[in-house]
Amino acid sequence: MKTSELSIYSIPNLLSLLRLTLVPMLIVSAYMGCVTTFLVVLAISLLSDVLDGYLARKLNQVSELGAKLDSWGDMLTYGSMILGLYWIWPDVFFEQAAYLLATMIFFIAPVALALSKFGEYPSYHTWGAKVAAVLMAPAYYMLVLWGADQFFRGVILLHVLVACEEIVITLLLSRPRSNVRSVFSLRPER
């Protein structure tokens, strides 16, 4: 199926939309201190994140819209995870404050650069970003359930490297693109 023929109702897009609709549940459950609800809804959200990209490729339903929905879902889910730390596990939040600040700065920098250069939110979905996203789930759960912060901090540092790669990609591109495997996969633009 051609990407121009895809509708918003493709399975991958519906999974991304599910993730977006779970964000208010994450925020409310975190604010109310409902630990189990927060962790279960987060698990569903993170699983849908893994499935949407996999199914998009498997079903040949990769689209610009899907890439954008996925990126918005990522941003809002990660924001909810930080709020969850702040409201449910404030001690953990403050112990990890420097790493969380680095995450926010290095999340905002490539987004701000792409917005200023192209006028749109970047949806590169590099291999590094995919690996970091998959590792974030166990790192977050290990942090909040068992206090294992070294793995969490390592994943945060990986996210910083991914952000640096996204900055370089934005600087090299002359027009916006989605689904860029890595900075090394870019070909000179004409």
Mean per-residue pLDDT of the chain: 92
Domain count, the chain: 2
Determine the Cα–Cα distance for residues 63 and 178; give it in Å rounded to an integer.
9
| Statement to judge: residues 96 and 154 lie in one domain | yes
Model pTM score? 0.88
| Statement to judge: residues 56 and 114 lie in one domain | no
Instruction: Look at residue 63 and tell me whether its pLDDT is greater than 90.
Output: no
| Statement to judge: residues 176 and 137 lie in one domain | yes
Boundary of a domain, candidates 88, 112, 147: 88
Instruction: Give the structural domain span for 190.
Output: 90-190
Element of type H or E holding 102? helix 97-118
Instruction: Look at residue 96 and tell me whether its pLDDT is greater than 90.
Output: yes
Neighbours of 32 (CB within 10 A): 12
| Statement to judge: residues 124 and 163 lie in one domain | yes
178-181, Cβ contacts within 8 angstroms, sequence gap of 24 or more: 178/64, 178/67, 178/68, 178/123, 178/124, 178/125, 179/62, 179/67, 179/123, 179/124, 179/125, 180/124, 180/125, 180/126, 181/126, 181/127
Tens digits of residue pLDDT in 1-47:
444 445 678 889 999 999 999 999 999 999 999 999 999 999 999 99
pLDDT of residue 88: 98
Determine the Cα–Cα distance for residues 184 and 147; give it in Å rounded to an integer.
36
Tens digits of residue pLDDT in 86-95:
999 999 999 9
pLDDT of residue 98: 96
| Statement to judge: residues 162 and 75 lie in one domain | no
Tens digits of residue pLDDT in 135-159:
999 999 999 999 999 999 999 999 9
